Structure 1
């Protein structure tokens, strides 16, 4: 499995013939030129996870790609004339590789802010992208996309999530709000599960696992 990071939470997962792009948001760059995608997965409707201005052109470049999203995002995409399949916790789809769906809600930002839908995706039975939630799959996760910093989280919550999932490899995501994310990465490495490999992927770079 090959993973390519396009800043923040946008990750391209290549698994066999499948080319699956997750969360092409407005904090991410470089995904616009991708072709031969088999699927685009969106965890939730926040702009840093789905860029409604750039998504139509991406879909046009990838006419065979299926789009999957949580119920809230699916409604938003329909309003913007983008064909999308709604997925919910417990669903499984085949996009050239198996994708299992987990979770239902975004983490709480503040009690005065309504909670929106959020789903996480386990791709190929190996890589889990949680979106903006700490809902863990009820199965082993080999590679975890680990949210680093956000208005809805503190580092102790991220570390407890990391310990609970206990992946063999953790890849930090959702770090665009930080000027110095290295401090967070150091805490993840020191306080994460023993033997875990923390892989920091620079923008536009790839790792094969």
Structure 2
């Protein structure tokens, strides 16, 4: 499995061992860059309707550049896509589907609370191949161990202490921080340091270089400089 982080919540997951390879792009939103050049995509998965997770203006070009790609979204984002006249599939927690041999289970239900006076929106978490979890904007607990957790590092709906407790509860082999574009660079670094320092002993923290594919083997990855706890 290779992962490429395009900033904020947008991650490309490539499973080259499956038949012909399978490429899934998650949450191409307005805070992310470079995903519009992605090719040979098999599916685009949207967790929820907020613009930092779905860029309706750039999606049509991305879909056109990837003939046959499946665009799959939660109910809230589905409504936005219908309004924009963009063909897609809607899925909800409890659903499951397969993309070229890669099994995807839909979890979650609701976006984490930003403020009680704001309306709640739906949020899908995607558990991919039983190995990779993208929780969207909620701290969704998987039904069992996961190899890689895309752990939110910041947002108006969370404190970093909540991200740390989430990481400790899931206890993945590797955690990749995402959802940090709203933080100043100095605060991104601080949150990453806190995640490293307070992660479970068995968990690596890997901060991915933007736009660069990173390989994740089937077993626990070896510790790297970027993954050491400070």
Shorter chain as denominator, the TM-score bin is: over 0.9
With 194-203 and 50-59 compared, the bigger mean Cα shift is at: 194-203
Matched residue, 1:208: 215
Distance in structure 1 (CA, Å) of the matches to 2:202 and 2:132: 18
Matched residue, 1:25: 29
Distance in structure 2 (CA, Å) of the matches to 1:136 and 1:101: 12
TM-score by length of 2: 0.89
Deviations 1:77-102 (CA, angstroms, capped at 9, x unpaired): 01111111111112111112111111
Matched residue, 1:109: 114
Distance in structure 1 (CA, Å) of the matches to 2:113 and 2:204: 29
Distance in structure 2 (CA, Å) of the matches to 1:183 and 1:130: 22
Matched residue, 1:3: 3
8 Å contact kept, 1:7–1:202 = no
Distance in structure 2 (CA, Å) of the matches to 1:72 and 1:177: 22
Tell me, which stretches of 5 or more residues in structure 2 are unaligned? 217-230
Q: Give yes or no for the alignment of 1:93 onto 2:100.
A: no
Q: Secondary structure at the match of 1:104?
A: strand
TM-score by length of 1: 0.98
Matched residue, 2:169: 164
Instruction: Tell me the CA shift for residue 195 of structure 1.
Output: 2.1
Q: Give yes or no for the alignment of 1:83 onto 2:83.
A: no
Matched residue, 1:44: 48
Question: Number of residue pairs matched?
Answer: 209
Tell me, which stretches of 5 or more residues in structure 1 are unaligned? none
8 Å contact kept, 1:42–1:68 = yes
Matched residue, 2:192: 185
8 Å contact kept, 1:9–1:23 = yes
Distance in structure 2 (CA, Å) of the matches to 1:34 and 1:195: 33
